[in-house]
Structure 1
Amino acid sequence: MTETSPSPSTGPAIVPASPAAREANVQADAGSAVPPPASSGGDQLARIEDKCARIEDKYARSEALLSRVEEKVEGAAGRMNEAARQSDLAALRSEVRAVADRTRRLPGAGALVLTAVITAVLTVVLMIAVQRLNLDAMLPR
């Protein structure tokens, strides 16, 4: 059986690597010689800037849309206020018309004077009739 060493080996491998393995290590080292963070950082920054530009475009479109909506809402509010004013005017017009109709049906000044004269004449005639028939004794004193 084989004995194991009490401490693990930290040095190079005892068994030499095959030529294919050595070539793979050299290619891996050559690939790592180009600093990936610098090139991927630039790409990542470009992508972030592109996304920021798209977000800004969307924000600008949303802002333009909201301003158009705001203008339409203001226009609609103005039209509603105008309609309310027209409705108030129509209601006021109908009230004035109703009052005018009621006052037209009232008797005129001539009818009122005629009624007053007739009432005065009838009152005098009735008082003379009461005195001639000696009915004034029935009146309380």
Structure 2
Amino acid sequence: MGSATPLPSPVAVALPSQVADQLARIEDKASRIEDKYARSEALLTRVEDRVEAAGARMNEAARQADLAALRGEVRALAERTRGLPGLGALVLTAVITAVLTVALTLVAQRLNLQTLIPLR
């Protein structure tokens, strides 16, 4: 392992006043540029937030329009199906059909009408 050489300590150098004034002006301009950049960044952040909020409002409006259209379709479907017979009417029709089928079959057998149907 080698021995570490000590680093030289910084030496204060006196600058000519014209160079010092120019550096001070450059620092001032850099500071103003940083301030403008920070203000621009804040403005862009606010614009981004407003655009996001507007997008959210547009999505909500589109969702509301979709719901309104769906409500209209359900209402139209309900109006079309309102005139259809209910479950009670369908069951009554099935019972009446079964009773009449049995009755007509018995009448056909008593009157010996099965001979009118040719067998294969």
Query: TM-score range with shorter-chain normalisation?
Result: 0.5 to 0.7
Which residue of 55, 58, 62 maps to 1:80? 55
Equivalent-residue separation in structure 1 for 2:90 and 2:52 (angstroms): 57
The answer for the alignment partner of 2:73 in structure 1 is 98
Match of 2:96 in 1: 121
The structure number with the bigger radius of gyration is 1
| Alignment partner, residue 33 of structure 2 | 58
Q: Tell me which residue corresponds to 1:48.
A: 23
CA displacement at 1:108 relative to structure 2: 4.8
Deviation for aligned residue 1:122: 2.9
Structure 1's unaligned 5+ residue stretches are: 1-36, 137-141
Letter paired with 1:89: Q
- Calculate the aligned-residue CA RMSD, in Å: 2.6
- Percent identity between the aligned chains? 8
Q: Which aligned runs of 4 or more in structure 1 are off by greater than 6 angstroms?
A: none
Q: Write the deviation string for residues 51-88 of structure 1: whole angstroms up to 9, x where unpaired.
A: 11011111111211221121111111101011111111
- Cα distance in 1 between the residues matched to 2:98 and 2:79: 30
Higher relative contact order by CA 8 Å / sep ≥ 6: 1 or 2?
A: 2
TM-score by length of 1: 0.58
